[in-house]
Amino acid sequence: MKTMNSDEQVLAVRELTVEYPQGRGRDPLRAVDKVTFDIAQGETLGLVGESGSGKSTIGRAILGLVSPTAGSIEFGGQDITRAGNRERRALSQDLQVIFQDPYSSLNPSRTIGTTLAESLRLHPELSKGQVRDRAAEVLGRVGLPRTAIDRFPSNFSGGQRQRIAIARALMVEPRLVICDEPVSALDLSVQAQVLNLLSELQREFNLGYLFVAHDLDVVRHLSHRIIVLFGGQVMEEGPAEAVYSKPLHPYTKALLDAAPVPDPVLQAARRTRREQLPIVSGAGQPAGCPFATRCPHALPVCHSERPTMEVTPAGTSVACHRWRDLNSVPTLELPDRKISHAR
Partner 1 sequence: MTLVAPFTEITDVSGSSSADSRFVRRLLRRPQAVACLVYLAVLAVVAIASPILLPDVAAERAGDLADSLQGPSSQHWLGTDSLGRDVLQRLLVGSQDTLIGVGVALVVVMLLGIPLGLLAGYVGGRLDRTLCWIADLVLSLPAMVLVIVVLSVFSQNLVAAMVTMGVLTAPALFRVVRAATLPVREQLYIAAAVVAGLSPSYIVRRHVLPRIVGPIIVQLSLLAAGALLLQTGLAFLSLIAGPPAPSWGGMVADGVGVMFQQGWLIWPPGIAIALTVLALGLLGDAVRDVSTEGWSPKRSPSRSTKQREKKKGADAPAISVDDDVLLGIRNLTVSFASSGGNVRAAERVSFEVGPGETVGVVGESGCGKTTTALAILGMLGHGGHVEDGEAHFAGQDLLTLSERDIQEVRGSEIAYISQEPMVSLDPAFRIGWQLEEAVRANTPLRGADAKRRVQELLEQVQLPDPTRAARMYPHELSGGMAQRVVIARALAGEPRLLIADEPTTALDVTMQVEILELLRSLQRDHGMAILLVTHDLGVVADICDRVVVMYAGEVVETASVADLFARPGHPYTQALLASNPHNQHAAGMLPTIPGSVPELGAMPPGCRFLPRCTQSTPACELGTIPLLQIGERHESRCVHAREVRST
Interactions with partner 1, residue window 234-263 (CB under 8 A): 240-241, 244, 254-255, 257-263
Mind giving me the DSSP string for 61-117? HHTTSS--SEEEEEETTEE-TT--HHHHHHHTTTEEEE-S-TTTSS-TTS-HHHHHH
State yes or no: residue 267 binds partner 1 (CB under 8 A).
Answer: yes
Strand 176-180 to 29-40 pairing: unpaired
Cross-strand pairs, 229:
234
Contact call for residues 43 and 225 (beta carbons, < 8 A): yes
Nearest to 73 by CA among 65, 63, 81: 81
- Count of residues in contact with partner 1, rule CB under 8 A: 100
Q: Decide if residue 217 touches partner 1 (CB under 8 A).
A: yes
Tell me the closest approach of the beta carbon of residue 182 to partner 1, in angstroms. 12
283-342: which residues touch partner 1 (CB under 8 A)? Answer: 294, 342
**Binding segment (CB under 8 A) for partner 1, from list 24-32, 156-164, 309-317, 320-328:** 156-164
Q: Which stretch binds partner 1 (CB under 8 A): 100-108, 295-303, 312-320, 321-329?
A: 100-108
104 makes contact with partner 1 (CB under 8 A): yes
Give dist(CA 112, CA 150) in Å, integer: 6
192 or 301: whose CB is closer to partner 1? 192
In 3D space, the residue among 208, 237, 170, 182 whose CA is nearest the CA of residue 36 turns out to be: 237
Looking at beta carbons only, is 126 or 299 nearer to partner 1?
126
Q: What angle do CA 8, 195, 254 make, to 5 degrees?
A: 90
- Residue 107 touches partner 1, criterion: CB under 8 A: yes
The reply on whether position 343 binds partner 1 by CB under 8 A is yes
Among 11, 149, 179, 320, binds partner 1 (CB under 8 A): 149
Contact between 248 and 316 under an 8 Å Cβ cutoff? The reply is: yes
Q: Does 85 bind partner 1 (CB under 8 A)?
A: yes
Under the criterion CB under 8 A, does residue 37 sit at the interface with partner 1? Answer: no
Residue (of 239, 276, 241, 240) closest to 257 by Cα position: 276
Cα–Cα distance, 235 to 226 (Å, whole number) = 11
In Å, how far are 86, 118, 202 from 177, measured between CA atoms? Answer: 19, 17, 10
Rounded to a whole number of angstroms, the minimum distance from the CB of residue 261 to partner 1 is 5
The one-character DSSP state at 210 is E
Which segment (10-18, 33-41, 70-78, 274-282) binds partner 1 by CB under 8 A?
Answer: 274-282
CB nearer to partner 1: pick between 259 and 287? 259
- Which parts of 60-79 interact with partner 1 (CB under 8 A)? 60, 63-65
- For partner 1, the binding residues in 169-198 under the rule CB under 8 A are 170, 173, 187-193, 195-196
By CB under 8 A, residue 271 contacts partner 1? yes
Closer to partner 1 by CB, 104 or 328: give it. 104
Q: Does 5 bind partner 1 (CB under 8 A)?
A: no
Binding to partner 1 by residue 208, rule CB under 8 A?
no
What are the distances in angstroms from CA 159 to CA 145, 169, 184, 237, 332? 14, 16, 11, 30, 46
Least distance (Å) from partner 1 to the CB of residue 144?
12
Minimal distance, residue 294 CB to partner 1, in Å: 8
Q: How far apart are CA 261 and CA 258, in angstroms?
A: 9
